[in-house]
Structure 1
Amino acid sequence: MSANIVIWSVLGLVFLRVLYERIRDRSLPPGPPRLPLIGNLHQAPTDAPWLTYQKWIKQYGPIVSAQFGGNTVIFIGDATIARELLEKRGHIYSDRPRLVMAGENLTKGMHLLLRRYDERYKLHQRLDAPVLSPRASKTYYPMQDLESKQLLFDFLSTNNFQKVYERYAGSLVYSLAYGIRLHTGNEPMLHHAHQVQENFGYAGRVGTWIVDALPFLNHLPPSLAPWKKTAEKFYQIEKALHLGNMQTGLASKGWNWTKEFSKSKQSDPMSEIELAYNLGILADAGFDTTSVQMQATVLGIFWAMALDENKFDRPLEFLPERWLEKSDDGKDQFVNFFGHGRRICTGRHIAKNSLFLLIARILWGFNIRHAVDQDGKIKEVDDLAMTSGFVSSPLPFEAVFEPRSAHSKEVIGNSWHSTEKDVDVLMDSIKAQQISAGLNVLA
């Protein structure tokens, strides 16, 4: 008799759950058909997820809903709609869903990207904002100038552009955050940072961890929850990197963000490891300049927006003049590749300044052409070939960088050899410039 009661109780709960899901789904945007209880979890893409989301957007419309276990996700494939919802109504769409493996087990709730939009998140925003403001970002030119000069000089002896770009980005942000230059791109701390990024990407992959779909399983003891052991191993690696870098920053001779943050009143309520994580996330975001494919309550799919055939003629063709046009509302096309609203990338001003400087100097100094094989045949490049995962980047390919002339080669060499390379001198000059400009960086 008791067994029958249990069975009927379970069936009743399942029926109520399915009924609830049917009622809930009626109020959501259209999307792929769901299965009871698991929703679209069986359809969660593990490879090139943006292609699946783009397919859904083409099939169901510019706003699509999907259900991954207990998480409802809304995908937006139209730039105008994304601006309307994520920027103009940012107070509604600024939160994050619960990501148990990456957000709780691995980073212990300290990763800014995965934090809920609460008072603690706002505290970190207030801590970061003074050094990342548009005016403060302009003062970092001395470091961008130095690193870009080395980048050009490195291209005189190598075509390994991935390593050259990575060294530039890593050295720039590590100089700003910790007062550390990366001279070769082979430094152990850079390899350590890569490992941290790979671990974080693995932990954050949608559909990989059952605990993200069924969070109550996280209450199981470690012996029955093997993902906890993995997360703890990753956490110890990440913790060692961030704490070690912060101590190096505090001990450096010149000014840097670590010293600035440690004196800020905004950091008073933070523990040492929480402050180290704040700095570490800024550094990680700076050297790994790729797009993050993460599960959010409302997610703008930039891939679909950029390839929207209703707005762009022949979107897959290289037609750079299209970007000179204005959108219907008078704004430049696609100014929001750094995100939307209150979750927009706070380091975007530094990134834009770096991009402008690098592109201008590279195009001035070099011709860029296809690599060829031993038979002289061009090695074609698939510009849509990307890695999959939480962090996505282009698959490796080859290109050749040739100086435009003997004069440009000479200028590049002379500029590099004659420039100031002492990071402490340059960082102190940046601080002096901020004080002279009346910037209250220390908040």
Structure 2
Amino acid sequence: MALLLNILPVVVAAAIFFRLLFSGRRPKNLPPGPPTLPIIGNLHQMPKHDAHLQFEKWARQYGPVYSLILGTKTLIVLSSDKAVKDLLDKKSNMYSHRPEMYIGQTLCSGDLRVLMMGYDARWRMCRKLIHTLLNVSAAKSYVPYQLLENKQMLYEMITQPERCMYNIRRYSNSLTTTMVLGWRSSTYEDKKMMQLFDGFSEFAELNQTGPAALVDFFPWIRYLPDFLLPVRQKARELHSKEKELYRGHWLKAKEQTEAGTIMRCFGEDLVTAQKAEGFSDDQAAYITGTLLEAGSDTTSSTLYAFIQAMLLYPEVQKKAQAEIDRVVGPDRLPTMEDEPGMQYIRSIIKESLRWMPTTILGAVPHAVNQDDWYEGYLIPKNAGVVNNVWAINMDPTRHPEPRRFDPDRYRDDFQGLADSAANPDASKRDQFTFGAGRRICPGMHVAERSLFLGVSRMLWAFDITPAVDADGKPIIPDPEKLTQGFVCQPEEFPVSITPRDERRKQMVVEQWRMAEKECLDPVTKQWMASPLVNGRPRKA
């Protein structure tokens, strides 16, 4: 027995040594990729900033399906519309899993974050519940919420135009909180909203640091004591703060639902679902929290990219305003009923999503749940699978001069965003920003309406022009400077937003003041009564 105890550490050490020795190598039957080093594979080549540019470069060098060896893990990168359609869409039963994310999901999220859940019964339950909020029928019912928040955003562009990005972020966040939990964010400085944005930024930053990645790529590291792995304690602390925030939101919505005082929202339905399904308050909190994260950042990031495009391509702005003036005229704001007759505005939205994709590398990798073969190459079980959105959206064979903002690419594309994503012809899909397969963003219908109202009404009301420096020279933003994280957008830039004429300015002011008076409590700035009856807008 004593001899066995003496030999055991040597055997364990030898096993670890040989495991490491063979780590980092690319098996011959895997898709090609950059040369590897022993043990670390391609880890030394992973960029710390602007990873999308390196991933695109590798796609041009190694082909539309290539592999990266990251320590003990394999990452397959899909960089063509055909590969995404063939694997993530057509084989979605195999490609809807997630890689194990010890820091991001286990520690930071308590295994509760829907975005990072594995493809199992629990995820399918959460997805089904979320679909009830975001399907095409439900999306139409939330238009009154969108109209109100849009009117406030337009008003704030008049009263505080220098806060363009914050006006847009408040718009998308307040809409999301109203749809999900029944309360709105009347100012950008709302403490609940700041906690949400700051918390998710902290989460993204932590999960993109070297230590967090190393724990995933070399799982044995997680057995080190805390003093040698401080990222573990930081992740636990972040989860504790985040869970407290999300539980607070959820329990308030639950209490209001049971008291019959909540606005019509998803939280109301989730209370009923919880009684039927029996999931915990913690899980309910993270279901609503996932929706808040997704809805608060993506729409605002796309609208901010649109603002930048209008600065860089003034001829597009003029053409769009001419279409709006022809269809709508100067006497009213655009509505959703105008959308079919405003193809150029619809094309601007599609081009904004393509030109500046928010989920630039597909947010979180998919994973394959069994060995698969594709075009002669093995895609091994549990490999991560990246939807290389940037490379596909920037593919010059799909979109000539891809860094040029050109809405006319879509002049003959009359598909909605969801219809385009489901098109069996991969070459006919407009862009890949919303993901693919069973993990595709369920909020496309809501986003499409928010983007149409945002783009059409801003162009109806305002001229968007460059700000000027102290010498009177225009300040032109660099479209290649993007924020880092799961969701990206252009780095903040100055912009001049001015009403097109006094008549439109007064109409924006009057529309907001009327909506504020008729719909909102004068003290709390919350809805006095739900604009929805049985899930549908009240009749005027």
Please confirm whether the aligned pair reaches a TM-score higher than 0.5, indicating the same fold: yes
Task: Note the C-alpha offset of 1:174.
Answer: 0.7
**Aligned match of 1:107:** 109
User: Shift of the alpha carbon at 1:235?
Assistant: 0.9
Q: Tell me, which stretches of 5 or more residues in structure 2 are unaligned?
A: 302-357, 367-383, 414-422, 521-525
CA contact (8 A) 1:96 1:114 kept: yes
Equivalent-residue separation in structure 1 for 2:185 and 2:84 (angstroms): 38
Q: How many angstroms does 1:4 deviate by?
A: 11
Structure 1 residue 363 and structure 2 residue 450: aligned? no
1:354 matches 2:363: no
> 1:128 — aligned with what?
130
Deviation of the 1:238 alpha carbon = 0.3
Q: Structure 1: which amino acid aligns with 2:266?
A: W
Which shifted more, 114-123 or 322-331? 322-331
Say which of 219, 242, 265 aligns to 1:215: 219
The aligned residue for residue 167 of structure 2 is 164
Aligned-residue offset at 1:14? 4.7
Structure 2: which amino acid aligns with 1:26?
K
Contact 1:222–1:228 under 8 Å retained in 2: yes
User: What secondary structure does 2:153 align onto?
Assistant: helix
- After TM superposition, where is structure 1 displaced by more than 6 Å over at least 4 residues in a row? 1-9
Superposed CA offset, 1:108-150 (max 9, x none): 1111111111111111112211111111111000000000011
Residue number among 389, 392, 411 corresponding to 1:324 in the alignment:
411
CA distance in 2, matches of 1:53, 1:331: 21
> Given the alignment of the two structures, is residue 197 of structure 1 paired with residue 200 of structure 2, yes or no?
yes
The root-mean-square deviation of aligned C-alpha atoms, in Å, is 2.7
Does the Cα contact within 8 Å between 1:142 and 1:426 map onto a contact in 2?
A: no
How far 1:166 sits from its partner (Å)?
0.5
Q: 1:215 to 1:430 in 2, by over 3 A?
A: farther
Distance 1:26 1:427, change over 3 A: farther
**How far did residue 329 of structure 1 move?**
3.6
Once residues 16 and 235 of structure 1 are traced to their aligned partners in structure 2, the CA distance between those partners, rounded to angstroms, is: 32
Judge conservation of contact 1:249–1:256 (CA < 8 Å) in 2. no
Q: Does 1:50 align with 2:52?
A: yes
- Which residue identity does 1:231 align to in structure 2? A
Deviation at 1:74, TM superposition (A): 0.9
Q: Residues 23-422 of structure 1: matches in 2 within 5 Å?
A: 25-159=27-161, 160-205=163-208, 207-209=210-212, 210-252=214-256, 253=261, 254-264=263-273, 268-289=277-298, 290=301, 291-292=358-359, 293-296=363-366, 297-325=384-412, 329=425, 332-419=428-515, 420-422=518-520
Amino acid at match of 2:250: M
Q: Deviations over 1:10-60 (max 9, x none)?
A: 6687557655865x6212111011122221112222211111101111111
The aligned amino acid for 1:365 is A
The more displaced of 155-164 and 5-14 is 5-14
Q: Is contact 1:147-1:172 (8 Å) kept? A: yes
Please identify, of 374-383 and 199-208, the stretch whose mean Cα deviation from structure 2 is larger. 199-208
Distance 1:267 1:435 in 2: 29
SS in 1 for 2:95: coil
Instruction: State the percentage of identical aligned residues.
Output: 29
Distance 1:9 1:416, change over 3 A: closer
- Match of residue 343 from structure 2: none
1:346-401 CA distance string (max 9 Å, x none) = 11211111001111111111111111112210101111211223332221101111
Q: Which moved more, 1:218-227 or 1:345-354?
A: 218-227
Aligned equivalents of 2:538 and 2:462: distance in 1?
37
Name the amino acid aligned to 1:272: D
Partner of 1:439: none
How many residues end up aligned between the 2 structures?
435
SS in 1 for 2:93: coil
Letter in 1 for 2:408: E
- From the superposition, tell whether residues 206 and 25 of structure 1 become closer, same or farther in structure 2 (CA, over 3 Å): farther
Secondary structure (helix, strand or coil) at the match of 1:413 reads helix
Any stretches of 5+ residues in structure 1 without a counterpart? 437-443
Sort the Cα spacing of 1:227 and 1:408 in 2 relative to 1 into closer, same or farther, 3 A: same
Helix, strand or coil for the counterpart of 2:67?
A: strand
Say whether the 8 Å CA contact 1:206–1:295 is kept in structure 2: no
Contact 2:42 2:70 survives alignment (8 Å):
yes
Taking the aligned partners of 2:209 and 2:82, their CA distance within structure 1 comes to 27
Deviations 1:160-205 (A, max 9, x none): 2110000001110111112111111111111111221122102321
Secondary structure class of the residue paired with 2:397: coil
Range with bigger deviation, 31-40 or 215-224: 215-224
Task: Give the 3 Å change call, closer, same or farther, for CA 410–218 of structure 1 in structure 2.
Answer: same
The amino acid of 1:76's aligned partner reads L
1:427 paired residue number: 530
Q: Is the 8 A contact 1:365 1:409 kept in 2?
A: yes
What SS does the aligned partner of 2:392 have?
Answer: helix
TM superposition score normalised by structure 1 = 0.90
Structure 1 SS opposite 2:97:
coil
Structure 1 residues 369, 33: CA separation in 2 closer, same or farther (over 3 Å shift)? same
Distance (Å, rounded) in 2 between the aligned partners of 1:8 and 1:219: 18
Q: For structure 1, which segment, 386-395 or 418-427, has the greater mean C-alpha deviation from structure 2 after superposition?
A: 418-427
Q: How far off its partner does 1:228 sit?
A: 1.9
CA 1:12–1:94 in 2, change beyond 3 Å: closer, same or farther? closer
Superposed CA deviations along residues 317-345 of structure 1, whole A, max 9, x for unmatched, are 22221122569948644243200010001
> C-alpha distance in 1, partners of 2:8/2:106?
37
Q: Is this contact kept in 2: 1:41–1:69, CA < 8 A?
A: yes
Q: CA, structure 1 residues 186+376, in 2 after alignment: closer, same or farther (shift >3 Å)?
A: same
**1:345 is aligned with what amino acid?**
C
